[in-house]
Structure 1
Amino acid sequence: MSDPRDVTILGEPATSHRPADPGHEGKGEIHLVHMYPREMSIYGDLGNTRCLAARVRRHGYVPVVHQHHPGQPFPETAHLVVGGGGQDSGQAKVEEDLERHADRLRGLAADGAAMLMVCGMYQLFGNAFVTVEGQTLPGLGILDVTTQGNATRMIGPVVLSTDFGDVVGYENHSGSTTLGAGQTPFGRVRHGSGNNRSDGTEGAVSGHVVGSYLHGPILPANPRLADALIGWAAEQATGRDFQPAELDDEVARQAHARQVSRLLG
């Protein structure tokens, strides 16, 4: 279980949190920004932030967690940025604020900041999301993907083959996402629907930016992916190679293996 000091709790007036551990600065600070935790975190994706903060600390670094809400200045320092899923109405609520900070986010992505965007935020980091009613919500274009809303949802457990090994999670989306010609997918579907139920792809990756439809939340179930994001963030934060600790992930490993075995036989 994560230390309660590791993450800002929803509802607190503060929008950032640095654990007060004088003399325990560790290997350096890693600033983690959770975007729109009220509007775009309805499928448990706050668990990704909690997982990252806990694992950052376990690796010997100091997590500094920020919440970014619509209308606020974007945090000055950001090494790792995460966003989650939401309804179409939630996406519409954050669209204006997202556009306000578009240049900053594109710059962070270009500079190598680690980013994980899940479901609705994955769609908004693409070129555009077209709702089932035909409304077009422009995206940031960080990932070369375009999403069309549908009346039928894609729901169920997923297993992917990725550069981070087999990744497991749960999808629940009506958007059908198409990759641009040169866009690398996050993974190949072994079980589930993925981006669009037809081309066998799931998510997208560009540099250190990962987009995916997988909830679960995805990171506690896939420690290797979590540590990849932390490693990228640590290198940017400190200017040195990532210095991981040896963590005991046996429970997560067993749960992961059982899901893969159950779904793939």
Structure 2
Amino acid sequence: MSTLYEHTTEGPARGRIRLLQLYPGDMNIYGDWGNALVLARRAQWQGYDVEMLSYDRGQELDEDIHLVVGGGGQDSGQERIKEDLLARGQALRDMAEAGTPMLVICGLYQLFGHHFVTSGGQEMPGIGVLDAHTVAGPLRLIGNIAVESEGFGTVIGYENHSGLTRLGPGARPLGRVRPGEGNNGEDGTEGARCHHVIGTYLHGSLLPKNPVVADWLLARAVERSGRQWDPVAVEGPLGAWTDRAREVALSRPR
């Protein structure tokens, strides 16, 4: 199933972006579906049509995709999708290595690594897009978080996870926490990056308060579609609203 979001600018569309949501039926908590909506809207403002597709368990995975987003879920959600995700792992690895941009949050961030060990000691194998390993910790890491990130500046979100993630040499962090617990509450890192893939624990949703990240993903998606990203200025109060949302989030205690 797909939904077409047509461009909102005058004249013909500058192109079409095919955006895929992974497991929206099982991995979509804390407003993560909002990330897909932000990407669609910002692409429309830039003159692009967006074809929004979704993939759930047991369906055929369309690999002719320009951008992939996936959200978080409880252990039960991860349990439901784990076998299907493993079956699609090679296709997703191939897409990532070919340059398809991806944003995966929390539960899917964990399963895009090598494995996730639950609090009960069960090991859920991941698909290895990211060089990361996660083990459930004894406490939940919860609160507003800011991350100083190379290329994106200060990234703002909300973390709520018990998984403790550590990166291997094949991944670099999204950034360093200021304040927050991040990947594991010890090494000061948050998230992981490899190729054009971003994994992170930041909910919120993430992208409404971080348009720099959204536009970076869109730029890579447009390039993946065979075109050149040439953004135009968006008029109106949007920038002020975004700045205010960021200020409020940063002012709230953890």
TM-score (normalizing by structure 1): 0.89
- Structure 1 gaps of 5+ residues are 1-14
Verify the 8 A CA contact 2:27 2:107 in the aligned structure 1.
yes
**Distance in 2 separating the partners of 1:202 and 1:256:** 18
Task: Give the Å deviation of 1:181.
Answer: 3.0
Quote the residue 2:20 is aligned against.
33
Q: Secondary structure at the match of 1:141?
A: coil
Aligned AA for 2:4? R
* Identity in percent: 46
Q: CA RMSD in A?
A: 1.7
Q: Secondary structure at the match of 2:146?
A: strand
**Distance in 1 separating the partners of 2:22 and 2:160:** 20
Task: Give the Å deviation of 1:261.
Answer: 5.2
**Distance in 2 separating the partners of 1:25 and 1:104:** 33
Where does 1:47-86 land on structure 2 (aligned, <5 Å)? 47-86=34-73
Quote the residue 1:11 is aligned against.
none
**Distance in 1 separating the partners of 2:188 and 2:94:** 31
Residue deviations 1:159-181, cap 9 Å, x none? 00012010000000010001113
- Structure 2 gaps of 5+ residues are none
Quote the residue 2:133 is aligned against.
146
Structure 1 residues 182, 153: closer, same or farther in 2, change over 3 A? same
Structure 1 residues 20, 154: closer, same or farther in 2, change over 3 A? closer
Residue deviations 1:134-170, cap 9 Å, x none? 1111111111000001231000000000120100000
Residue deviations 1:204-240, cap 9 Å, x none? 0011100000000000010010000000001111x23
Verify the 8 A CA contact 1:60 1:245 in the aligned structure 2.
no
Quote the residue 1:225 is aligned against.
213
* Structure 1, 45-54 or 74-83: larger mean CA deviation: 74-83
Quote the residue 1:92 is aligned against.
79
Q: Secondary structure at the match of 2:99?
A: coil
2:240 is the alignment partner of 1:253 = no
2:151 is the alignment partner of 1:161 = no
Aligned AA for 1:16? S
Task: Give the Å deviation of 1:20.
Answer: 6.5
Aligned AA for 1:141? G
Quote the residue 2:180 is aligned against.
192
Structure 1 residues 76, 199: closer, same or farther in 2, change over 3 A? closer
Where does 1:99-178 land on structure 2 (aligned, <5 Å)? 99-163=86-150, 164-178=152-166
Q: Secondary structure at the match of 1:39?
A: coil
Verify the 8 A CA contact 1:114 1:232 in the aligned structure 2.
yes
Q: Of residues 192, 210, 225 in structure 1, which corresponds to 2:198?
A: 210
**Distance in 1 separating the partners of 2:190 and 2:61:** 29
Aligned residues: 248
Residue deviations 1:28-57, cap 9 Å, x none? 000000011110002110000111111110
Structure 1 residues 20, 49: closer, same or farther in 2, change over 3 A? closer
Structure with the largest fraction of strand:
2
TM-score (normalizing by structure 2): 0.93
